[in-house]
Chain A
Amino acid sequence: MASANWPEKKTWSYLRDRIDRVDGPVKATGAARYSYDVNRPGMLYAKVLYSQHASAKINGIDLSGAKSMKGVKATWRDEDLIGSEVQYAGQMLAAVAAVTEELAQEAVKQIKVDYEVKKPQVIDDDPEYADDRASRREEGNLEEALKGAEVVSEGEYGLPVVTHCCMESHGQVAEVKDGELHLWPSTQNVSRYADQMGEQVGIPGNKTHVNTQYMGGGFGSKFSHDKWGIVGAILAKQSGRPVKLMLDRDMELMAAGNRPSAYSKVKVGVKKDGTITAMDEEVWGTGGPANYRPPPFPYVFTGVENWRQVGRRIRTNRGGQRAWRAPNHPQGCLITMAAIDDAAAALGMDALDFFRHNTQLTERPDVYREELDVAADMIGYRQKAHPRGDKTPGPVKRGLGISMHQWGGLGHPSECDLTIHPDGSVECKIGTQDLGTGTRTVINIVVAETLGLALEDIEVKIGKSAYPQSGASGGSTTVGGVSASSRLAATSALNALLDVVASELGVSANELEARYGHIRVKGDPTKAVSWKEACSMLGPSPINKKGVNDRAESREKGLIDGGVGGVQMADVSVDTETGIVTINEMVGVQDCGLVIDLKTAESQVYGAMIMGITYSLFEEAVYDRTTGSMLNADMEFYRLAGLQDVGDLRVHMMGGEKYAKRGVIGLGEPPVISPGAAISNAVANACGVRVPYLPLTPERVTDALEKGGMSV
């Protein structure tokens, strides 16, 4: 019997190898069809009318102008909103489906909305605007600890609201055919995308079919069908024709989710030897009209004995927050890591020594110490390090910064259906989705590894709700979920095959193994049959097995686990005459247990670091305080980093028995957490002053230099 446990390293064929993503060629050539690319015969185009005002009562929405236009086939308005209020500019009011995109756009302009405009509130960084009720959490005796500290440092740290800015906006193509609803959405949640749609569209769930083969990014913003998903389906039903409804970029940035802001005042007390003894935080920020949960504090250094957090929500007329790649961690990380870095500087202790010393206050001291050492070697920390403030002459200062982060990443519930056909072909179905992370590739590797076959011998089918249920891709849970379910399914199918082959060969199934395209007797490769031959012994009926990832069981078996640490370091230059920050080099050292594909794993980390550099240097949702409208709801002023902006990035995935034996752990989120803190700390190390808030733009950097008496 083959065991479902991960094989020993010496027998790995694909695991931890550098394998190209299997769908790379179709993506690179444009053959891959994203939701945006799906075109159905007779399809209509839907356009959305959104609120121009951030705060207003809607007295009426008059669709007659749009309805009377030739070519307009269906309309919708939000009945519930009439007589009530919009919460933010960009909120959906109505929609039109027409025979061309241009016509739909024109028709939307004909819709008349009777607004009673109110004064909006979009300011999110001034605690004066916060709710009166604060949340409080504390442990130990803060006052005492601060009094007893060798050094108490104080600082302000913060990050603005940023959006997900997925390359493909939200939306779907919907079609009603023979009473059944077919959807091609851009979603992170194929299996359950349509769960609550049925009732609102009037088509039951068992007649709803979701198909997402390729999608252009979600980052936590695409779990739900959203109102526009329902509306698209309603328009399709109304018109009897397929309808494509994809958000335009402006509405995407205003309405389709964002990362809440966090601004803080922090005090840190440390002992002479560098041990952190006290941390005190006041934090405020906005999630739009939605709730606000203060970010984790103290972050990573959860063993700090005395601490307090007072959190306040600022309610704003801005689009509501959604999970943004590692929800709340980038905020928590920046605030804690920058505050303790300032404490190290105040104490006059080298930052690396300081972080290393305080790993005792974390949940994974060994892992962090190892990672700090690896990262330090990679970036040449000991050679380059200097105390805060680069004292070399000239306006351009250079500095290093460190950050540490943590994440869970335990695989989600997932089911896999695996078939071995008598002709030797193998088919693997999972109702999961590939967000661009390499999910398809990972499943392919796991099944090929388990069956001893080549990658191209396996057909991986994902992205349909008709396939066995698999969790939404959030919380870095996908790789664990699908690798466990596919490993379990493939193992059990293989065992069924081994039984058949064993009786044909007159050996016990326990003596057999699947390797190099053969079923063979362990230790005696001469006694072997080819995979095809073996499968032909099945007669007419294929083997079909299910693999179910039960999280607790899989964890026990060592198939998957949760809980990782990572370290990043940045080497930056700051032009103190212009405030321009340049990334010279950045290293990411990450643990994710057993690495299935080193290449796609590293790519995840590279991508996360680029996303992190983007929010560190450029990104921010800017709102006008008078009108409440978003001023940069486009790709011009909503700035993202380009290749020339990211510097030299290097990644190291922790490996070896100690890490691999924990099984597979998720990776999507952890590496996006640290860049803000690593870069902010590097800037402080370079120019000698802390720039309180991200992004580190010329205006913020020059302002901090001036206030710190460092301007030139």
Chain B
Amino acid sequence: MKPFEYAAPNTLEEAIGLLGEKWGEAEVLAGGTDLVTALKQGIMEPDRLVSLKNLTSLQQVELREGTLHIGAMAPLAAVSENSTAQEHFPSLVQAIEGIGSRQIIVHGTVGGDLCQRPRCWYFRSGYGLFGQHDGESLVLNGDNRFHAIFGNEGPAYFVHPSSLGPALIALDATLIAVGPKGKERTIGAGDFFKTPQNEDERETVLRPDEVVTEIRVPLHGLKNATYEVRHRQGFDWPYVTATVAFQERGGTASDGRVVLGHVAPVPWHSEKASQSLNGQALNEPTAKECGQAAIVGAKPLSGNRYKVQLTKTAVKRAVLSAAGIEQEA
């Protein structure tokens, strides 16, 4: 691990002032569950860490005027244990409950989950964000079983690791980012993530000198659920997640949203699957069709065709779960 300077400022302004103008100069430290690993792996080597731990106001989770305000530094557990979230945002709670282990849920933060770096094993082994060697993609020629089946035109083939991202997009959440001179930006969750085109870009639209301060989730009355396909039960990432949300009236869906996780370099909003729900009776055939619609346009790589099948299933099961329909075991 490269030696670094450590700062734990007491105000947001100070914190932002300590960040750099370019990525890699300084990094925000939240719970550290991802960042510290990345430092040890030598894939992030900042000169300075700016810990937000003293900014206690960023840890709050509060319901105000029909919107749940989640501080970026709120531990994941503070959201999954929040009664508003449990009642209105089961998809978000399920996404959190699936995560790794209890320790990570208690220690990791919501802001950290959204800004965490890809788990791609080429990236983590030091071959760069795109996993290249002599100008060629190791991912394409190598073992890509955990890589993207959507949005994989390259050079990025990794999947975005956040399970919360898809849920927040489906729930119409917005993020607040604050930069130098207190300049505040409101960013729709769907606009927050981006596929980098260069090695030195990041996976979000955040600037190097900005901090995510808050995530706002409105109570829009959507039925919603997340379904994960997870192999190992403890300490692992899912293969695929699907978050589904819709308005329901008299057993019929409208305003459908289907957002997939772990299948593309960004949380993947499936237009087709979302629309397939609108005006449909909520039942098993609709769920199945939604699953089918979700995989249209999937372009599996040499070793991850199975993720198409997993995606189809995850979407179907998320629809049924959101609609409260028991599935056949």
Contact = CB atoms under 8 A, between A and B. Distances in A.
B118 interface: no
Given A632-B121, A698-B239, A624 B233 contact: no
Given A579-B306, A698-B229, A644 B234 contact: yes
A169 to B, nearest CB: 15
A711 interface: yes
Contacts of B312: 577
A577 B308 CA distance: 11
Contact of A699 (B3, B233, B303): B303
A637 interface: yes
Interface string B231-270: 1111110010000000000000000000000000000000
Interface stretch (B47-55, B88-96, B135-143, B149-157): B135-143
Interface residues of B, number: 35
B314 to A, nearest CB: 8
Contacts of B125: 629, 631, 633
Contacts of B121: 622, 631-632, 637
Contacts of B106: none
Contacts of A393: 328
Pick the most buried of B124, B141, B145, B309: most chain A CB atoms within 10 A of its CB.
B309
Given A578-B229, A642-B234, A625 B142 contact: yes
Interface string A615-639: 0011000111111010111101101
A644 B233 CA distance: 6
Contact of A394 (B234, B310, B314, B328): B328
Given A394-B328, A636-B119, A645 B232 contact: yes
Nearest to B119: A636
Contacts of A639: 231-232, 236
A578 B235 contact: no
Given A624-B142, A698-B306, A631 B328 contact: no
A643 interface: yes
B313 A627 contact: no
A156 interface: no
A105 B138 contact: no
A395 interface: yes
Contact of B229 (A580, A631, A632, A637): A580
Contacts of B141: 625-626
Interface in B115-163: 119, 121-122, 124-125, 127, 133, 136, 138, 141-143, 145
A613 to B, nearest CB: 11
Nearest to B236: A639
A273 interface: no
A624 B235 contact: no
B233 A631 contact: no
B1 interface: yes
A23 interface: no
Contacts, number: 90
Interface residues of A, number: 38
Contacts of A105: 1
A585 interface: no
A457 interface: no
A625 B142 CA distance: 6
Contacts of A102: 1, 3
A703 interface: yes
B298 to A, nearest CB: 14
Interface in A655-712: 697-699, 702-703, 706, 711
Contacts of A396: 329
Nearest to A644: B233
A179 B234 CA distance: 49
A627 B232 contact: no
A577 B231 contact: no
A99 interface: no
A543 to B, nearest CB: 52
A699 B145 contact: yes
Nearest to B304: A699
Cβ-closest 8 pairs across A and B: A642-B234, A644-B233, A394-B328, A577-B313, A699-B306, A631-B121, A702-B306, A624-B142
13 contacts: A395-B328, A396-B329, A623-B143, A624-B122, A625-B142, A627-B127, A631-B142, A633-B125, A639-B231, A642-B233, A644-B233, A699-B145, A706-B309
Interface of B: 1, 3, 119, 121-122, 124-125, 127, 133, 136, 138, 141-143, 145, 229-236, 239, 303-306, 309-310, 312-314, 328-329
Given A625-B142, A703-B305, 10 more contacts: A618-B232, A622-B121, A625-B143, A626-B133, A626-B136, A636-B119, A644-B233, A697-B231, A698-B239, A699-B304
